[in-house]
Amino acid sequence: MEALAVRLSQLDSQAGGAIRVVMFYDTLMRRRVDLPALARASAGLAECTAGIRLHGTGQAIRYTTDGRPAAGTPPTPSTSAPILLDDEEIGTVWLERPGTPRTLDDLLLDRLAIAAAATVERYGPARTTMADPALVELAISADADDAARARALRLLGFPPDLRLHVAAVHSPLPLDQVGTAICPARPVKAAPLAGVGAILATTLDPTRFPPGVRAGLSTTPDPGRAWREARTALRFTTPRQPIVRYDDLGVVALLADVPHDAIRDNADVTAIAALAETPDDLETLDAYCTTGSLRRAADLLHLHHSSVARRIDQLGKTLGLDLTQPAGLTRARLALNAWRLLHA
């Protein structure tokens, strides 16, 4: 190939230069360089500042001819080209050449765009936590076809052979902080979707969620179903139980499919709603339903177990249930969960 380039350069300088450009990018692709290395090498070849931007991150990667990151706001490019992956435009490459563009600038950008697309397909985008909401939504949408979902996950940087963990969160903290906390060493992406934070990760540690964050979790292999399950689990979270796995809900998850009018009209739920007007009573019932034990509920409430026993006896009379019996406790638990769904 080099011999051909030399021979062509003797016959036609433009043809020889074109082959050298093609060889240059073929070499970079064989070496599996990342996007910053592509931009830096392109700037040296073009003898002007070169840039790469992915739509998913919005960040401009720009390098000058001396191999240093370019400072300041990118000016209007002298020449640009789209980065295409599976016929979808995922970004842009450009040159910032003062004056008139050179003859081989279009070819250079064409090869740079191809190399950038190959790099994104291999490594995914830059290791940032926040992602394009539209891309995240496509990855976990129940309506997405398999090809579109696979493309979105690839663009987000997730290997196709690893199971995806999906979390739906309400957080007082920025989503990127939450994502970094629960998955510090592996790819993790986050984006707000319709008032709920979506976090996608290949591994996820539920014990690392920061205080004040509520999260519903799902590990179902189908991302579309996982997102639906995670949002359902989020509706069952409480201050006492801020992290809920969908699998742990079991049959209780079916309550999420009951129409609100049917829940509101249920006698047990109506009784819980009346009880909720007294926060101490609601907290006592919640502690007892959560633990199923007077002594453990007393530990949670920092009260003597005899005091909790008297409260539970009185609450049972108010609700018309024998809370010391399994059937009464089950009804109270279901009614408490159903009441919460009305306010989730």
What's the confidence (pLDDT) of residue 155? Answer: 82
Cβ contact 194:224 at 8 Å = no
Residue 3 clears pLDDT 70, i.e. is over it: no
What's the confidence (pLDDT) of residue 11? Answer: 44
What's the confidence (pLDDT) of residue 127? Answer: 52
What's the confidence (pLDDT) of residue 2? Answer: 47
**6 vs 308, more confident:** 308
Q: Is 89 exposed, middle or buried (0-12, 13-18, 19+ CB in 10 A)?
A: exposed
User: Residue 58's pLDDT band (boundaries 50, 70, 90)?
Assistant: low
What's the confidence (pLDDT) of residue 106? Answer: 93
What's the confidence (pLDDT) of residue 233? Answer: 96
Our measurement of the distance from residue 311's CA atom to the centroid of its chain's CA atoms, rounded to an integer in Å, reads: 43
Q: What is the mean pLDDT of the chain?
A: 88
The amino acid that residue 98 corresponds to is: P
Lowest mean pLDDT segment, chosen from 147-156, 213-222, 280-289, 316-325: 147-156
What pTM was computed for the model? 0.64
Domains by residue range for the chain, with CATH: 2-123 (3.30.450), 133-251 (no CATH), 258-343 (1.10.10.2840)
What's the confidence (pLDDT) of residue 12? Answer: 46
Lowest mean pLDDT segment, chosen from 56-65, 218-227, 321-330: 56-65
What's the confidence (pLDDT) of residue 259? Answer: 94
**pLDDT tens profile 210-229:** 999 999 999 898 999 999 99
Name 268's Cβ contacts closer than 8 Å, sequence gap at least 6.
Answer: 319, 321, 331, 332, 334, 335, 338
Structure tokens at 64: 């000058």
Q: Name the β-bridge partners of 218.
A: 166
User: Residue 72's pLDDT band (boundaries 50, 70, 90)?
Assistant: confident
**pLDDT tens profile 111-162:** 999 999 988 877 655 456 777 898 899 999 988 888 888 888 888 878 777 7
